[in-house]
């Protein structure tokens, strides 16, 4: 009986950690830090072991409860963080089957599509988010980045201006203002 309580306590702690990480992860814009970085694998060693252990534990949770939304989201986020974009997309798709209106997950999946070499699919995901929630500023932010990176400057300007309209003092407002200035100057 004591072992069962310990296992239950561990599972409860893991789930609480997953929920907390999913909440924090969903609040972060993932595309900006990676836009100008080369796509390389993260450092090996301890960080890689942590990643593998976290993925293993999440997969254990999901083997017992495949509809565990926070676990699916966190699994997607872990794969995303380690630039395993196809696995991230697969986890996000499963999460969206359970919660199709989750704009944060759909936005993260759009970013993963972009890094997988499918900017059109990324744009489609961002537009789906915006259609469902025209106030989703982060979708506009990322839409602008993808448009800019694919040479669609006028569309990037519109998306970024909408972001600034929604969040004029937002966390990424300075970044967007700088990018807007660059794009507008290049278009002169």
Question: Where in the chain are the domains?
Answer: 2-129, 134-188
Please name which of 75, 65, 79, 97 lies closest in space to residue 21, comparing C-alpha atoms: 75
Sequence-distant (6+) residues with CB within 8 A of 116 are 85, 86, 89
Least confident of 41-45, 52-56, 87-91, 153-157: 41-45
Buried b (16+ CB within 10 A) or exposed e, 109-132: bbbbbbbeebbebbbebbebbbee
Residue bearing the bigger pLDDT, 71 or 16: 71
| Whole-angstrom distance, CA of residue 141 vs CA of residue 144 | 5
Give per-residue pLDDT as tens, 67-121: 999 999 999 999 999 999 999 999 999 999 999 999 999 999 999 999 999 999 9
Q: What is the pLDDT of residue 6?
A: 54
| Whole-angstrom distance, CA of residue 69 vs CA of residue 81 | 18
Q: Which CATH architecture has domain 134-188?
A: Alpha Horseshoe (1.25)
CATH class entry, domain 2-129: mainly alpha
Both structure tokens of 85:
């974009």
Both structure tokens of 33:
């830090």
Q: Read off the pTM.
A: 0.75
Mean pLDDT of the chain: 83
Averaged pLDDT, 158-185: 95
- Residue 98 has a CB neighbour count (10 Å cut-off) of 14
Averaged pLDDT, 174-184: 93
- Residue 31 has a CB neighbour count (10 Å cut-off) of 22
| Whole-angstrom distance, CA of residue 104 vs CA of residue 102 | 6
Query: DSSP code of 137?
Result: H
Residue pair 172/163 in contact (Cβ under 8 Å)? The answer is: yes
Residue pair 92/129 in contact (Cβ under 8 Å)? The answer is: no
Same topology for domains 2-129 and 134-188, yes or no? Answer: yes
Q: How confident is the model at residue 36 (pLDDT cuts 50, 70, 90)?
A: very low
């Amino acid at each position: 009986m004591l072992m069962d309580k310990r296992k239950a306590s561990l599972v409860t702690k893991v789930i609480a950690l997953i929920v907390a990480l999913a909440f924090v992860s969903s609040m972060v814009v993932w595309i900006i830090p990676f836009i100008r970085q080369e796509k390389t694998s993260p450092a090996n060693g301890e960080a890689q072991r942590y990643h593998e252990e976290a993925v293993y534990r999440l997969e254990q949770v999901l083997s017992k409860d495949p509809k565990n939304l926070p676990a699916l989201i966190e699994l997607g986020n872990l794969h995303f963080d380690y630039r395993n974009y196809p696995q991230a997309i697969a986890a996000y798709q499963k999460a969206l089957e359970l919660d199709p209106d989750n704009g944060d997950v759909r936005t993260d999946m759009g970013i993963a599509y972009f890094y997988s070499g499918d900017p059109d699919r990324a744009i489609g995901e961002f537009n789906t988010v915006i259609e469902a929630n025209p106030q989703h500023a982060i979708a506009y932010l990322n839409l602008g980045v993808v448009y800019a990176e694919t040479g669609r400057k006028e569309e990037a300007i519109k998306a970024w201006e909408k972001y600034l309209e929604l969040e004029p003092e937002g966390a990424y407002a300075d970044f967007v203002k700088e990018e807007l200035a660059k794009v507008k100057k290049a278009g002169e």
